Amino acid sequence: MMNDFKALEYKDGNLVFLDQTKLPLSEVYIETDDYEKIALAIEKLEVRGAPQIGVVAAYGIALAFKDGIENPKEHFFKVYNRLLNTRPTAVNLFWALNRMKIFFENNIDSNDLFNLLLNEAKAIHIDDIEKCDNIASNGLEIFDTPKTVLTHCNTGQLATGGGGTAFYVIKKAYEKSLIKFVYADETRPLLQGSRLTAFELEKAGIPFNIITDSTAAVLMSQEKIDLVITGADRIASNGDTANKIGTYNLAVLCNYHKIPFYIAAPSSTIDTSLNSGDQIQIEERSKDEIIKINGQLITKENYDVFSPAFDVTPHKLIKGIITEKAFHKPPFNFK
């Protein structure tokens, strides 16, 4: 096993996190107590992954009160709204910010708002660590014999406050000799698979190959994939699931090839206000993420681009949804 790493921690008055835009070629840590820098880090994907975004935003709220504030209520909602509008799809962001808002309103008259808010942010972080542990434990149910697994995007420490969701299931299964091999989709356009999941697989000592997103069908047709497991950014009440663009492709391929397709995510990702995936707001990203790699043009700048960050997988294509509470089987009803 290779050395582990810390993707995110609160240390010496600062939030410290790996700049994921630099991985895997450089391990650069950002240290800040500036909520605006935290908001920009979320927008620029220096930090990403639905659970991690929620944890980071909670710390952003707390750190905004590190220095004395004359009008706490006005300042809180200024910071709250700035963080709220960073990314629209990942429900964990709104869940964590709402928890911080309720806590603030219950303690608004305190003379020690910073430390109170900081402890609440730490509690959200600890809660995510515990959820990751339980997701990994519940996820072991999908293994009866050693499997070859395909995964998409990144769902490890780089996406959460703890060990991960789908990736942590894979890691814990590997530690129990239940993983033979992992195929990691590169995950265009931002290459979270080839940059981030590969980085975490290497750190964990798990044997793997990076593949292009369009290679999955070939592997399935050759019967080289036993199961597919991914994370989620938002899950509707009926089990429809929004995840990184390309996830729906995999679910359709799995359905055709009769391969089980699983989702692993904390229960905070389930949005019971939505009846189906049709109601999930899908973030659209800048065309630069398609036409450029590392700032270098790879096609003409004047070409128009359609670049949704996520797609929605219908619940009927999902074999099971693994949360920290249970291994949920169809039919899904999270109301």
Sign of the torsion formed by the C-alpha atoms of 135, 137, 142 and 143:
positive
> Does residue 308 sit in helix, strand or coil?
strand
Are 100 and 71 spatial neighbours (Cβ–Cβ below 8 Å)?
Answer: no
Contacts (Cβ under 8 Å, ≥6 apart) of 27: 5, 18
Q: Catalytic: 288?
A: no
Q: What is the distance between the alpha carbons of residues 133 and 324, in angstroms, rounded to a whole number?
A: 8
Which among 233, 240, 271, 311 is annotated as catalytic? Answer: 233
**CA atoms within 13 Å, Cβ hemisphere of 138:** 25
CA distances from 19 to 11, 23, 27, 169, 215 (A): 16, 7, 7, 24, 28
The residues, ordered by sequence, that sit 6+ positions from 333 with a Cβ below 8 Å of its Cβ are 237, 238
CA 39 – CA 47 distance, rounded (Å): 10
The closest alpha carbon to 232, from 145, 169, 178, belongs to 169
Residues that are catalytic? 233
